Amino acid sequence: MPGLLSSPLCLTVVWFLSWSLRPSCAQIWTDEVSDVQYGRLESNVTLACGQSKIGVPVVWYLNHSLALPWHKLMLDGALVLLHVDHSAQGNYSCYDNEGLLLHSVKLRLGRSPGLLSISCQVPNHTYVRCSWVESVKTFLPAKYNASFRGNGHEWRPCVLDVIRKQCDIDHPAFWQTMHTLRITETNSLGSETTFAQFKLHELLKPDPPESVLVKEIEGYPKRLTVSWNFPSSWPLHDAFPLVFQIRYRPRGSIYWSEIYSEENSVIIFDALAGHLHQVQVRARDEVNSESQWSEWSPLLLAQPWKVYPTPDPAVTDDGDYFFPFNTKPETSTAKSHNPVPDAEGNLGLVILLVVFSMVILATVLSLIFVMWLRKRRRNHVTKQELTSMVKMKSMPI
């Protein structure tokens, strides 16, 4: 057997086999590149050729191709890629002059993180969601670390959703003057920490009211009833009242009429009979006037109850008679919430005022009458005195 192995023919076969298999071995190696090297875009990147000796010529391949981006080769075999762009990314491998793989590496190019542009949404007092946008496109995978705190207090983690680039804080200490969010972005080329300060009470912005309904009221051709629910994200508790703004206009008009309410329904008394109306509702925290209005609810279309061609004599427009509002919706007017019981209250107030003014008038008239009587009496007395004086003068002494 040793004789067989040492025979010249066999040696030739072994040499041939090893020579012919060498490139395929290299192919396997390049596909299994485990090293990743990161480089900065628009800069020079140096790729070392493993343990190559100075002066020994090496050959570099990019993705098995000899076509390399703009580069220079160093004496130690290192490849310097000049002012790299994205096209320079790929799998690099260097071989000695005998075709032996010396080193392979995957090159990824990008930038180190820059500052983040952070914004926070505060849909209620128990929840804050902050999201960010990178000011620098890094092209590299990054890790984030986010924490949040009220002024002068301990950092609390902000729960990350890296894919959406946002983080959530449950139950923040809301009633503090200032909050700070700190996000650190780290990638292979470096890290950057961004601090952002917020006033939660000014960012507070409820979601729009939900299930908004606009309905006609049978028998009332100028009325519409609007109802809605609190936003589902808003806590239903006495401590968190909302104020609602309702706006409406006949379709085609550019002027909105407005009503404010703290309830979750209102009646519009001055709709334009026979016209389709656009109605929207939005909400704001009632206590904190520095908070923001929600977005408007989706536009709804509704028409007041219509008088049909064969009118029922029992149904008249009397219901609207007592509400001397401007029935032209082409005026932008802000009104307070004015449901039916309040309207009755107004009528009562008018009656009261009329009665009171009558009483005042009667009082004034009575006073004038009394004064007139007293004056007349005084005149009478003066006359009597004069008469008696004349009488006394005419008397013989």
Partner 1 sequence: MKLLLDSSSSLLFSLLLAQLPVFTSASPVPQRRPSDMDRLSNQTKNLMKLTQELLREHAFDSDVEPHRFRSLPEMSNRSANDLNNLELKPTLSQLHADLKLYEHHFEWLNRVSKKHHHPAVPKLVEMIREIKSLINLLHRQMLRVEAPRLAPATPSLPPHLPYQFDVLQSSHELLQHFKLFCDWAYRAFISLKPKVPAVQ
Distance CA 269, CA 281 (A): 16
Strands 101-110, 36-40: pairing kind:
parallel
Among 13, 159, 299, 359, binds partner 1 (CB under 8 A): 359
The two counts, helices (H) then strands (E), for the chain are: 4, 23
Selection from 45, 28, 49, 29 nearest residue 37 by Cα:
45
Among 12, 366, 379, 388, binds partner 1 (CB under 8 A): 366
Q: How many residues bind partner 1 (CB under 8 A)?
A: 47
Q: Which stretch binds partner 1 (CB under 8 A): 84-92, 193-201, 306-314, 320-328?
A: 193-201
Amino acid at 125: H
The answer to the question of residue 386 lying near partner 1 (CB under 8 A) is: no
- 246 touches 283 (CB < 8 A): no
Distance CA 100, CA 104 (A): 11
> Smallest distance from the beta carbon of 316 to partner 1, in angstroms?
25
The answer to the question of residue 157 lying near partner 1 (CB under 8 A) is: no
The answer to the question of residue 373 lying near partner 1 (CB under 8 A) is: yes
The answer to the question of residue 17 lying near partner 1 (CB under 8 A) is: no
The answer to the question of residue 147 lying near partner 1 (CB under 8 A) is: no
The answer to the question of residue 239 lying near partner 1 (CB under 8 A) is: yes
Q: Which stretch binds partner 1 (CB under 8 A): 61-69, 218-226, 330-338, 352-360?
A: 352-360
Selection from 255, 231, 234 nearest residue 332 by Cα:
255
Strands 156-157, 159-161: pairing kind:
unpaired
Strand order in the sheet with 116-124: 116-124, 127-134, 166-170, 159-161
Among 69, 123, 150, 219, binds partner 1 (CB under 8 A): 150
Site for partner 1 in 38-77 (CB under 8 A): none
- 232 touches 294 (CB < 8 A): no
Provide the binding-site residues for partner 1, judged by CB under 8 A. 124-126, 150-153, 171-178, 197, 199, 201, 235, 237-241, 287-290, 341, 344-345, 347-349, 351-352, 355-356, 359, 362-363, 366-367, 370, 373-374, 377
